[in-house]
Amino acid sequence: MPHPDYKNQTEKYEYISGQHGGYYRHDFIDHAYLYNLYFPPEDIFDHFKNQIHDLVLNYPVAQDVLASLVGKLINQKPENIVVGNGAAELIKIVSGQIARKIIVPVPSFNEYVNAAPKGSAIEFPLEFPSFHLDVEKFADQVIKSKADIAVVVTPNNPTSIAIPKVDLIYLAKRLADQDCQLIIDESFVDFVDKPDQTSMENEIEQYPNIAIFKSMSKAYGICGIRIGYLLTANSKFAKAVRQGVHIWNINGFAEEFLRILPDFNKEFITSCKQVKKDRDTLYYDLKSLLGGTIYKPDANFIFCRLPDKSPNAPEITKKLFIEHNMYIKHCQGKTLPDSERYIRIASRTNKENSNLVDALVSILGYKKH
């Protein structure tokens, strides 16, 4: 039966491309949103089913208990943590209420700039065409513009490129006396090769001018539950953000998830390994079959510049959806040169990834070797 909002696949594409989520209701393969498909395990869902009356009927806990639950999970002090209804809630508070002037390397996750009042956000272009962050130039620009919040996303979205830890430490040191809070968004860090050696979570005491942001939706595959957190040793900054969240900002399902999550650490690490394996296979397939520029990914998605002779990214995205019922993200409208030439592909299972590569190859009119 056709959906009331569209009568055919073309209308369905127009409808879906205007939505933010709810995709599972519309029967297509979603290579746009960035999930870990191998977590949570079924035991977690069974646990929710058994607790459903309590979770629905009762008030959840407030910030102090939530912070201690996340603290237990990441082995950090609760007073250094603020828990958000997804990282999006925390971004809105920092960009929209706390920052006087915020600077973000672009292309990046749009929400940091979108949530800022008009005229208070500065976009700093990443090096082109490598999309690496030149931390010296970035630090110079932060200081020159007198920004009080600087943001780096690592691995970055949409480029899937991580910033080396030495560069993050350089930034933290360089901005230490600049009255500027450095936000390091590590939402995708679990998918890098060595998360422990990439994350700055264990450096917060040494660099109180940094704050780690993390959306748990991505790595833990719980986009519908909405949990994110901020971690910083800067108690003044933590307090300012904490004042921005309302008393019951996290629901009972999210609270219960945090309570039981430490018991599933082994399964979580295994799931991330599988995500990386599938992503790497997809990367090599795209590299050998697609042409253009395929950027080596550090997260669970792949950033590609389409071959110059091919149609542009919005056309390819639309064709892929209409003809193959698969949805990817094109980057037109992102702040980068030739944005209409770039696509971002979320890695799913090996089979789904393989089908996607075949579909792209056929759309581009290539012969498979």
Same domain, 183 and 306: no
Same domain for 340 and 207? no
Last residue of a domain, one of 263, 294, 327: 263
Mean pLDDT, range 146-163, rounded to an integer: 98
CATH code at position 62:
3.40.640.10
User: What are the tokens at 76?
Assistant: 């950090």
Clarify whether residues 92 and 74 are in a common domain: yes
* 12-34 mean pLDDT: 95
- Residue 142 φ/ψ, nearest 5 degrees: -60, -50
Type of residue found at 352: E
Q: What is the pLDDT of residue 243?
A: 97
CATH number of the domain enclosing 270: 3.90.1150.10
Predicted confidence at residue 172, as pLDDT, reads: 98
Residues 199, 85 share a domain: yes
- Same structural domain, 245 and 318: no
3 state DSSP class of 341 = helix
In a domain, 249, yes or no: yes
User: pLDDT tens across 276-301, in order?
Assistant: 999 999 999 999 999 899 999 999 99
The burial class, CB within 10 Å (0-12 / 13-18 / 19+), for 8 is: exposed
With a cut of 60, say whether residue 153 has pLDDT above it.
Answer: yes
In a domain, 299, yes or no: yes
Mean pLDDT across 167-192: 98
Is the distance from CB of 116 to CB of 95 less than 8 angstroms?
yes
Q: Is residue 63 scored above 70 in pLDDT? A: yes
Asked if residue 4 belongs to a domain, the reply is no
> Which residues have CB under 8 Å from 129's CB, separation 6+?
293, 305
Mean pLDDT within 169-192: 98
| Residues contacting 332, CB < 8 A, separation 6+ | 312, 313, 314, 339, 340
Residues spanned by the domain of 169? 43-263
Q: Are residues 117 and 129 in the same domain?
A: yes
Which pTM was predicted? 0.96
Tell whether 274 and 259 lie within a shared domain.
Answer: no
Percent of the chain topping pLDDT 70: 99
Q: Is residue 3 part of a domain?
A: no
User: What's the token pair of residue 266?
Assistant: 């082994």
pLDDT of residue 42: 98
In this structure, the answer to whether residues 181 and 324 fall within a common structural domain is no
Residue 2 domain-assigned? no
- Which H or E run contains 236? helix 235-244
Q: What is the pLDDT of residues 192-215, one digit of tens each?
A: 999 989 999 999 999 999 999 999
Biggest CA–CA distance in the chain, Å, is 62
- Whether residues 96 and 242 share a domain: the answer is yes
Residue 297 is given by DSSP the state: P
> Is 93's pLDDT higher than 70?
yes
What is the rounded distance in angstroms from the CA atom of residue 130 to the CA atom of residue 270?
31
Domain end position, chosen among 205, 238, 263: 263
pLDDT tens digits along 94-134: 999 999 999 999 999 999 999 999 999 999 999 999 999 99
- Chain-centre distance for alpha carbon 73: 20
Number of helices followed by number of strands (H, E) in the chain: 14, 13
Q: How confident is the model at residue 1 (pLDDT cuts 50, 70, 90)?
A: low
User: Which of 216, 243, 263 marks a domain boundary?
Assistant: 263
DSSP string, 17-43: TT-SS-GGGG-SEE-SS---TT-S-HH
Distances (CA, A) of 369 to 43, 59, 288, 334: 43, 59, 10, 34
Give pLDDT, residue 369.
45
Are both 276 and 210 inside the same structural domain?
A: no
